[in-house]
């Protein structure tokens, strides 16, 4: 089954899907924003990474940024009706001009929505500005007052927008702020596998509605817990688990007539930035792992040692540029709606590789020029928007 051959079937259910989405969005608190990486093999289209604190808004087209701005305005007016001032709390990537430009783009989006917007954090105090790709980004002084509240220029913002994934733990004063997304969704606590647990029931429901096997809309996975790659016994057990999982995938591929050998992606269950990611076709690759590769897998952003690994079915990308470069969609969402697409392109990587590497480039298209527009507004948007509902459910599960 190739999902691209069933676009008409999907569109035939559009009204029913829209009504279902509206009902589900009313059941959970939809995140203010997020981004997802989508892989499209034709026979499977699924979200392979879901980001609660998205960077990369600098890759969004100006046309799409305007639409995102409208959605941002609607979300804030609904959830924070008295808000006039939004303060962005960023990462401390002072030398990463791409990240700084991302913050500049978010700031522009917020200002276009009609809000006052400032940027800064205690870690950035004294810098006054950071250098982005299009110029300097002015910073404001952020301090803790006597009540452990974050203040900007001595005043408390109406809303604080978190663009920091909190890998290193919670930030002083952040729990006392009127802040979104919720800090408990930071990587010091969140797990990738928790997102898939939250996503699965939504995938199952929508698949019944459309009339397809839910297997086609989500990667299979399992979590290998408490694995220390420095210990031989851990490696042996992990290799056995991976081989068993590959056998299951192989049988499914055989049943569906998919003529390729399965691959799994091994990654840190709580990591970001594409660190700790390895493609595997056999458990023996873990047994023969070099110390250098083992260290890459064992440590996440900030040097935190990995405890649990997400072993995820690798979805090859069937999308490519006219020049044959492999690519994958990155979908940006505000208020749960897919409103912007850009494409990660990497001519040095195969259809199964992790494309998120220094050799990647990004391309955005106006809707009228997007060669992948039918998929973008169809299956890609569907799985992305389901992922955002799942993020809302995931956040509420932590609070329960």
Provide φ and ψ at 60, rounded to 5°: -80, 140
**Domain 57-185, CATH among 3.30.1330.200, 3.20.20.80, 3.40.50.12280, 3.40.50.11280:** 3.40.50.11280
Give the pairing of strands 221-224 and 309-313: antiparallel
* Cβ atoms of 306 and 297 closer than 8 Å: yes
Average pLDDT over residues 19-23: 97
Average pLDDT, the chain: 90
Is the pLDDT higher at 377 or at 387?
Answer: 387
Q: Is the pLDDT of residue 280 over 90?
A: yes
Does the domain at residues 220-311 carry the CATH identifier 3.30.1490? yes
* Cβ atoms of 195 and 223 closer than 8 Å: no
What is the Cα–Cα distance from 187 to 307, expressed in whole angstroms? Answer: 13
Q: What is the pLDDT of residue 173?
A: 86
Q: Is the pLDDT of residue 205 over 90?
A: yes
Q: What is the pLDDT of residue 155?
A: 95
Helix/strand/coil for 317: coil
* Among the listed residues 279, 387, 370, 384, the one whose alpha carbon sits nearest the alpha carbon of residue 40: 384
Q: What is the pLDDT of residue 62?
A: 83
pLDDT digits (tens, 9 = 90+) for 296-351: 776 555 555 667 889 999 999 999 998 999 999 999 999 999 988 889 999 999 99
Sheet containing 33-40, strands listed edge to edge, beginning at the edge strand earlier in sequence: 45-51, 33-40, 326-334, 337-346, 361-364
Q: What is the pLDDT of residue 400?
A: 57
Beta bridge partners of 152: 142, 155
Q: What is the pLDDT of residue 154?
A: 92
Q: What is the pLDDT of residue 48?
A: 95
In this prediction, residue 367 has a pLDDT band, given cuts at 50, 70 and 90, of low
Average pLDDT over residues 195-202: 97
Q: Is the pLDDT of residue 186 over 90?
A: no
Q: Which two tokens stand for residue 121?
A: 């954090």
What is the Cα–Cα distance from 152 to 130, expressed in whole angstroms? Answer: 17
Q: Which two tokens stand for residue 382?
A: 């569907």
Q: Which two tokens stand for residue 195?
A: 């997102």
Q: Which two tokens stand for residue 183?
A: 């800090």
Start-end ranges of CATH 3.40.50.11280 in the chain? Answer: 57-185
377: left (phi over 0), alpha (psi -120 to 50) or beta: alpha
pLDDT digits (tens, 9 = 90+) for 61-97: 888 888 999 999 999 999 999 999 999 999 987 789 9
In the 3-class helix/strand/coil scheme, how is 96-158 assigned residue by residue?
CHHHHHHHHHHHHHHHHCCCEEEECCHHHCCCCEEEECCEEEECCCEEECCCCCEEECCECCC
Start-end ranges of CATH 3.30.1490 in the chain? Answer: 220-311
Q: Which two tokens stand for residue 289?
A: 């792992």
Average pLDDT over residues 87-116: 94
Cα dihedral 345, 349, 352, 356, rounded to 10, equals -60
């Amino acid at each position: 089954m190739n999902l691209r051959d069933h676009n008409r079937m999907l569109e035939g259910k559009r009204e029913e899907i829209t009504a279902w989405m509206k009902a589900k969005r009313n059941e959970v608190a939809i995140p203010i924003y997020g981004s997802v990486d989508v892989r499209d093999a034709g026979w499977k289209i699924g979200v392979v990474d879901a980001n609660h604190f998205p960077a990369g808004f600098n890759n969004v087209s100006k046309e799409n940024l305007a639409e995102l701005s409208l959605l941002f305005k609607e979300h804030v007016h609904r959830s924070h009706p008295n808000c006039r001032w939004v303060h962005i709390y960023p990462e401390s990537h002072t030398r990463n001009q791409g990240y700084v430009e991302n913050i500049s783009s978010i700031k522009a989006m917020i200002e276009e929505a009609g809000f006052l917007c400032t940027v800064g954090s205690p870690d950035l105090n004294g810098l006054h500005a950071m250098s982005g790709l299009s110029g300097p980004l002015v910073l404001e002084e952020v301090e803790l007052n006597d009540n452990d509240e974050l203040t900007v220029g001595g005043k408390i913002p109406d809303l604080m927008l978190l663009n920091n994934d909190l890998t290193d733990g919670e930030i002083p004063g952040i729990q006392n702020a009127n802040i979104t997304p919720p800090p408990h969704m930071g990587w010091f606590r969140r797990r990738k596998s928790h997102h898939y647990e939250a996503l699965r029931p939504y995938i199952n429901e929508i698949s019944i509605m459309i009339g397809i096997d839910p297997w086609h809309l989500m990667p299979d996975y399992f979590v290998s817990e408490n694995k220390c790659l420095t210990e031989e016994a851990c490696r042996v057990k992990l290799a056995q688990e991976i081989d068993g999982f590959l056998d299951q995938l192989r049988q499914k591929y055989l049943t569906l007539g998919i003529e390729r050998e399965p691959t799994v992606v091994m990654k840190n269950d709580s990591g970001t930035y594409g660190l700790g990611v390895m493609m595997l076709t056999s458990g023996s690759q873990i047994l023969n792992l070099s110390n250098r590769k083992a260290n890459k897998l064992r440590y996440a952003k900030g040097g935190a040692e990995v405890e649990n690994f997400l072993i995820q079915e690798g979805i090859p990308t069937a999308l490519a540029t006219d020049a044959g470069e492999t690519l994958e969609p990155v979908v940006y969402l505000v208020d749960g709606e897919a409103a912007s697409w850009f494409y990660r392109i990497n001519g040095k990587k195969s259809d199964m590789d992790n494309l998120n590497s220094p050799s990647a480039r990004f391309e955005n298209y106006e809707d009228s020029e997007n060669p992948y527009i039918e998929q973008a507004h169809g299956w890609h948007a569907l799985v992305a928007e389901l992922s955002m509902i799942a993020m809302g459910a995931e956040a509420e599960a932590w609070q329960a």
